[in-house]
Structure 1
Amino acid sequence: MAEKKISPWVKAALDWGPLIVFFVAFNRLKDGTYAILGTDYSGFVVATALFIPLIAASTLILWALTRKISAMQIATLVLVLIFGGLSVWLNDPTFFKMKPTIIYLLFAGILGAGLIRGKAWLQLVMNEAIPMAHEGWMILTKRFVGLFLALAVANEIVWRTMSDEIWVDFKTFGLPIILIVFIMSQTKLFERHGIEKEEGDEAEK
Structure 2
Amino acid sequence: MKFLFDLFPIALFFGVFRWGEGHQDGAHALVQQYLGALIAGGTATPAQSPIILATVVGIIATCLQIGYLLLAHKKVHGMLWVSAAVIVVMGGATIYLHDENFIKWKPTILYWAFAAILLFYLVVMNKNLMKSVMGEAMKLPEAIWRRVAWAWIAFLAALGALNLLMAFVVFKGDTSAWVNFKVFGATGIFFVFIVAMGVMLSKYMQDDEQHDEQQGQA
Hey, what's the Cα distance between the residues in 2 that align with 1:155 and 1:63?
A: 31
More helix by proportion, 1 or 2? 2
Is there any run of 5+ residues in structure 1 with no aligned partner, and where? Answer: 1-7, 200-205
Give, in angstroms, the shift of residue 122 of structure 1: 1.7
Which of 87, 94, 101 is residue 108 of structure 2 equivalent to? 101
Residue number in structure 2 paired with 1:4: none
Hey, what's the Cα distance between the residues in 1 that align with 2:201 and 2:12?
A: 34
Residue number in structure 2 paired with 1:69: 76
Task: After superposition, give the CA deviation of every residue in 1:7-63 in whole Å (9 maximum; x if it has no partner).
Answer: x3xx34432122111111111112626134341252111111111111110222133
Residue number in structure 2 paired with 1:136: 144
Give, in angstroms, the shift of residue 130 of structure 1: 3.7
156-165 or 57-66, which deviates more: 57-66
In 2, are the aligned partners of 1:45 and 1:91 still within 8 Å (CA)?
yes
Size of the aligned set, in residue pairs, is 188
Residue number in structure 2 paired with 1:127: 135
103-112 or 64-73, which deviates more: 64-73
Is there any run of 5+ residues in structure 2 with no aligned partner, and where? Answer: 37-41, 213-218
1:46 matched to 2:53: yes
Task: After superposition, give the CA deviation of every residue in 1:50-97 in whole Å (9 maximum; x if it has no partner).
Answer: 111111102221333352121111111111111111111111111111
Bigger radius of gyration, 1 or 2?
2
Question: Equivalent residue of 2:128, what SS?
Answer: coil
Among all aligned residue pairs of Structure 1 and Structure 2, give the percentage whose two residues are the same amino acid: 27
> Quick one: structure 1 residues 50 and 147, their matched pair in 2 at CA, closer, same or farther if it must change by over 3 Å?
same
**Letter of the 2:197 counterpart:** Q
RMSD: 2.0
Which of 162, 165, 169 is residue 180 of structure 2 equivalent to? 169
Task: After superposition, give the CA deviation of every residue in 1:118-148 in whole Å (9 maximum; x if it has no partner).
Answer: 4321222232344433222110111111101
TM-score with structure 1 setting the length: 0.82
Residue number in structure 1 paired with 2:197: 186
Hey, what's the Cα distance between the residues in 2 that align with 1:66 and 1:177?
A: 31
In 2, are the aligned partners of 1:98 and 1:156 still within 8 Å (CA)?
yes
Hey, what's the Cα distance between the residues in 1 that align with 2:144 and 2:70?
A: 30
Residue number in structure 1 paired with 2:153: 145
Hey, what's the Cα distance between the residues in 1 that align with 2:139 and 2:181?
A: 31
In 2, are the aligned partners of 1:70 and 1:125 still within 8 Å (CA)?
no
Q: Which runs of 4+ in 1 moved over 6 A?
A: none
Hey, what's the Cα distance between the residues in 2 that align with 1:53 and 1:143?
A: 32
